[in-house]
Amino acid sequence: MKLLILTGMSGAGKHTAFKILEDFGYRCVDNLPVELLKSFVELNHRNGTEDDLVAVGIDVRGGDSIELLRQVLPELEADGMEFEILFLDAEDVVLVKRYKETRRSHPLSGAESIYAGISEERERIQFLREKANYIVDTSHLLTRELRAELQKIFIDRDDYKNLFVTVMSFGFKYGIPQDADLVFDVRFLPNPYYIAELRPMTGNDEEIQNFVMQNEDGPEFADKLEEMIRFLIPRYIDEGKNQLVICFGCTGGKHRSVTMANELYNRLKDSATYGIRVEHRDIDKDAKRGK
């Protein structure tokens, strides 16, 4: 039997992950009482086969009993029961937003704020995060992107390094993204805004990409940036970083920043050691504002 323990922050997407794992052939049991974990594992090990895939969800919904995992997990290892731990995480501000959107209360918040519940939860399950084989930060992941990450881990069995890279474009007039790790100002590149026929287009259009990259500054900047990012990523992985947000900013977030974000994404997207996505935060804002 191959046992996976799915845990992590409430609101980080464990319910969605269970559905994906079921599609992958896992038999899933959510919110299993910790007191029953050893018996459950022994029963499945005795009655199942080596190829059986079983996923068990354990988190703070079980109350104080989650502390028992500090004792139970070493006992499973001592008994020769192999298992892996998948920990789903997300930024606090994202978790709060998700709770507000669903109008649900955090299991530990009680009469206090959602932030208070999240803070307490992080303290309680930090030992699981430290023991986890895989940490997936879902802050910027769509469901299909989470599926791709889980497939990479559990189906393709790639050498997963727990890092997900988001390449994002934005407009300075709308503010720098709060979760940015690296910010690059590309307003030094030629601006298609001043060409009437190009102005309505975006950096997703070939005409804009050709215009922005038409001089030596564009390709040279992209080459040097790619070299630097490829240098940094393995060092971030070694540091234990699991989320890297690389941002490109121009005035409106529609032309130059989109072009460079796409350029870097296309250069890095074939890596098997980390996940990557591209996001254009402000690409449609001028159109929505009638500008």
Buried b (16+ CB within 10 A) or exposed e, 256-286: bbbbbbbbbbebbeeeeebbbbbbbbbbebb
pLDDT tens-place string over residues 62-76 = 888 888 999 999 999
Task: Encode the chain (291 residues) as per-residue pLDDT tens digits.
Answer: 889 999 999 999 999 999 999 999 999 999 989 999 989 888 887 877 777 899 999 999 888 888 899 999 999 999 888 899 999 999 999 999 998 887 778 888 876 788 889 999 999 999 999 999 999 999 888 899 899 889 988 887 766 667 889 999 999 999 999 889 999 999 999 999 999 999 999 999 999 999 999 988 999 999 999 999 999 999 998 887 888 999 999 999 999 999 999 999 999 988 767 888 999 999 998 765 544
The DSSP call for residue 29 is E
Whether 135 and 189 share a structural domain: no
Range of the domain at 86: 2-154
3-state secondary structure of 177: coil
- Last residue within a domain, chosen from 154, 181, 197: 154
Same domain, 140 and 220: no
Residues 95 and 139 in one domain: yes
Paired with 248 in beta bridges are 169, 184
**And the tokens for 94?**
């994202």
Domain final position from 96, 120, 154: 154
Q: Do 242 and 135 sit in the same domain of this protein?
A: no
Please report whether residue 258 resides in a domain: yes
DSSP-derived secondary structure for 59-105: SGGGGGGGGGHHHHHHHHHHTT--EEEEEEE--HHHHHHHHHHHTPP
Contact 102, 62 (CB under 8 A): no
Residue 227: predicted pLDDT? 97
What lies within 8 Å, CB to CB, of 25 at 6+ separation is: 53
Q: Tell me how far apart the alpha carbons of residues 203 and 33 are, in angstroms, rounded to a whole number.
A: 51
Whether residues 63 and 196 fall in one domain:
no
Residue 159 lies in a domain: no
Q: Rounded to the nearest 5 degrees, what angle is found at the Cα of 164, between the Cα atoms of 161 and 170? A: 160
Q: What tokens appear for 47 in the block?
A: 């009655």
Same domain, 107 and 141: yes
Name the domain count of the chain.
2
* Residues 65 and 174 placed together within one structural domain of the fold: no
Distances (CA, A) of 13 to 19, 144, 147, 150: 10, 12, 11, 12
Check whether residue 253 and residue 278 sit in a common domain.
Answer: yes
Are 79 and 210 part of one and the same domain?
no
In angstroms and rounded to an integer, the radius of gyration of the C-alpha atoms of the chain is: 22
- Strand, helix or coil for residue 279: strand
Distance, in Å, from the CA atom of 130 to the CA atom of 72, rounded to the nearest integer, reads 16
